[in-house]
Structure 1
């Protein structure tokens, strides 16, 4: 039987600053607010066309 060496990982010594941790949270929050307000003020025809184009972009037929 052949011996397979085990892989050992080292503990991470790198720590992110609070500002670096906050950046992805803020970007996600701003994107979410932008999408919610964009949908809230868009007409139903615009939303339908966007969903329709999205279906075609993912190769889902709809007609």
Structure 2
């Protein structure tokens, strides 16, 4: 028993190209900025001590002045 493999020379490979417009990139940047600001505000002013301390320790470990 033998297996015969053939390739079809007329088969074309489709290339997928993704292009984003400027408005899509700006929308993504604005959404990411708002999400980041909300996370920083939540962690900085959280009354949950574990969240605040985790953010505080992270700032110190990355040499970011926080106080």
How does the TM-score come out when normalised to structure 2?
0.49
Equivalent positions of 1:18-57 (< 5 A) are: 18-43=22-47, 44=49, 47=51
Aligned-CA RMSD value: 2.8
2-structure distance, mates of 1:32, 1:7: 44
How many pairs does the alignment contain?
46
How does the TM-score come out when normalised to structure 1?
0.51
Q: List runs of 5+ in structure 2 lacking aligned partners.
A: 53-67
Q: List runs of 5+ in structure 1 lacking aligned partners.
A: 49-63
State which structure, 1 or 2, has the greater radius of gyration over its C-alpha atoms: 2
